[in-house]
Chains A and B, each alone.
Chain A
Amino acid sequence: MSRPAGIRFGTPQWAEAFAAQVAQSSEYRNAAAAWGKGFDGSILLVFEADANRAGVERLRLALAEGRCDGAAFLAPGDSSRAAFELQAPFGLWREVLDGRTLAATAILTGRLRVVGEKLTLLRHTAAHRALLHCAASVETIW
């Protein structure tokens, strides 16, 4: 019996694989060269419970000038924050990561909610698109 390929979402291994994707992405390195320059570029991706998945997952990313200096899912009860939070139901995140919905569109239409200085985020849409593409590039068991 063969095991399914990929890494289970929400695990430390998944966060590590994501950080590795960021590290090797020339798209991210170029698009995010100015992200976090002179300001705190940390981001919290909040995957909210919905019909697709019970429970909340919170992925904290330390990002600066085209690098990912750390990626980790927060343990339940860990109230760590980040300078920016992107919040959406799990189903919408799946749409974004599967490429069925553009992250920029989801942000611009308010489906993907932003906590933090929205204007700063909007000035770096290419960086966030590249970041989410890195997430989508991790072979994932949902």
Chain B
Amino acid sequence: MDRLSSALQDRLQGVVFTPDQFVAEYLTNFGQIHHWTPRLVVRPARADDVAETIRFARAHGLKVSTRGSAHSQSELAISDGGILLDMRSLGRVLSVDQDGETVDVESGVVWRDLVHHLKRWNLFPRVLTNNLGVTVGGTLSVAGIGVASFRHGSQGDNVVELDVVTGTGDLVTCGPDREPELFWSVIAGLGQVGLITRARLALRKAKPLTRTYYLLYDDVRKFLEDSRIAMDAGHWDHLESWASPCPQGTKPVGGRRQVFARWFYPFHLTVEFEPGSPPDDERLLRGLSPYEKLYVDDKPMIDFLERLVPIFELWKKAGTWEHVHPWMETVLPWDTAGDYIDQVLPDLPPGMLIGGHVLLWPAKGPSSRSRLFMRPPGENLVGFGILPAIPPRHWSKVRPLLDNASRLSTLLGGKRYLSGWIDFTPEEWRAHFGAQWDSFAAAKKRWDPEGLLNPGFVPFDATTAAATVR
């Protein structure tokens, strides 16, 4: 028995686990790329347990990492010899303010559970991620983007207040107008400055039904133009799109024959409506020029929000959920998005996308106020994500392709979305945050002076050293 285990357990209401009690999931995250073993795992019962764990870690020279649903794919949600906080035990919906349209939740609440809790009032979070099986604290720590982000920004932009435990073990309440420096360093702050234990989220009243128009495009530039029109139209509630391969045979790529595809671009546009007042299809679709209008689907709001659950279930049943997930997501400037997509997709073997897909999401830069959710300048932006599931034995072969896709996006002015697989050099980290780097590093120094929180991902020390050398 680890001597620290019982000493920590004596201070907590929650439970401390030693390696002999670990379940396998504690040793990696969704990415399945990094495999680390923590010294202890803590399932806190309350925010004070989180603060006490940090104070204990400080006293004993340990690091503290946090884990929600562990959807990260880099060195997050895992711990190499430190204390791993399994935040899912902070999973209570605390209160709903129907008039004020807010909800207070503990940070380990899973979005899907929250949505089901709120549906009785037809109140919903303004932005929801495609995968609802992730936690509030997790997505707020990376920004949290979804099909309504073009209207409402990131999930982090729709937070009214947070309780945060800093790296010094202090529990602090913050918001956009209260301790804003801390607040905006925690939103999309990758758990580097403080750990979220409670969030008050802004909600919105939704209409009970949704109508989704399934449009298909055969040309990425036509799709981009129509997605801009749709974003500016003002009547769409949700916009969702993909790049979808239609395999054609093989062609030589670098001299080796590889399956190649003709790519199409499904574009799903959704409006909410009241029963008995269906939308005017012709008016809504006026000005759009798809290759084909495929389908129109009405469903209850809750079914719309859970629309991807069957797909994720299929991936789990097929076993690809256990594969390596080096997701490469990036936000591109409007001007270079078409060129980027033209370069990247022809090289992408369609087989890579079994158990995954290529996402596209039209976005509005000014819809977000988040300082650390880095995005290119400009009003119109395009999110692009290669979300493969790779059998582990093929990972080393696929990696250069994704590496190049990441670098090309950066060279064309894109900014990587950091929940995915990131392999930045210290200089690339600095470049990613650009003008925000210094304030992020200062916040780290102020609220986590000993570098306790979520180590191993953002190389604050290394980039400082590199800057000094230059």
Contact = CB atoms under 8 A, between A and B. Distances in A.
Given A102-B404, A104-B404, A105-B404, A129 B253 contact: yes
B408 interface: yes
Interface string A91-116: 00000000100101100110000000
A130 B400 CA distance: 17
A11 interface: no
A109 B339 CA distance: 19
B251 A27 contact: yes
Interface size class of B (residues with CB under 8 A): 10 to 19
A60 interface: no
Given A105-B407, A109-B407, A126 B343 contact: yes
Interface stretch (A2-10, A45-53, A66-74, A117-125): A117-125
A60 B170 CA distance: 65
A13 interface: no
B411 A27 contact: no
A108 B347 contact: no
Interface string B240-278: 000000000001111100000000000000000000000
Interface residues of A, number: 23
Nearest to A26: B252
A137 B347 contact: no
A27 B250 CA distance: 11
Contacts of B346: 31, 126
B343 A125 contact: yes
Interface string B406-433: 0110011000000000000000000000
A122 B253 contact: no
Nearest to A137: B255
Contacts of A123: 339, 342-343
Contacts of B226: none
A31 B79 CA distance: 45
Contacts of A133: 252, 254-255
Nearest to A102: B400
Contact of B411 (A99, A122, A130): A122
A118 B251 CA distance: 27
A136 interface: yes
Contacts of B403: 105
B76 to A, nearest CB: 25
A99 B189 CA distance: 39
Q: Is the interface of A mostly helix, strand, loop or mixed?
A: helix
A108 B253 contact: no
A122 B343 contact: yes
A35 to B, nearest CB: 12
Contact of A27 (B252, B336, B339, B404): B252
B254 A129 contact: yes
Interface in B217-233: none
Nearest to B257: A27
Interface string A23-53: 0011100110000000000000000000000
Nearest to A34: B342
A30 B403 CA distance: 24
A26 B257 CA distance: 12
Contacts of A25: 252
Nearest to A104: B404
B146 to A, nearest CB: 30
B412 A122 contact: yes
B81 to A, nearest CB: 32
B251 to A, nearest CB: 7
Contacts of B339: 122-123
Interface in B338-358: 339, 342-343, 346-347
Contact of B254 (A26, A99, A108, A109): A99
Contacts of B342: 123
Given A105-B400, A108-B404, A126 B347 contact: yes
A123 B344 CA distance: 10
A77 to B, nearest CB: 35
A119 B412 contact: yes
Contacts of A105: 400, 403-404, 407
30 contacts: A26-B251, A26-B252, A27-B251, A27-B252, A30-B251, A99-B254, A102-B254, A102-B400, A102-B404, A104-B404, A104-B408, A105-B403, A108-B408, A108-B411, A109-B407, A118-B411, A119-B336, A122-B343, A122-B408, A122-B411, A122-B412, A123-B342, A123-B343, A125-B404, A125-B408, A126-B346, A126-B347, A129-B254, A130-B254, A133-B255
Given A126-B253, A129-B254, 7 more contacts: A25-B252, A104-B408, A105-B403, A108-B407, A122-B412, A125-B408, A126-B343
Interface of A: 25-27, 30-31, 99, 102, 104-105, 108-109, 118-119, 122-126, 129-130, 133, 136-137
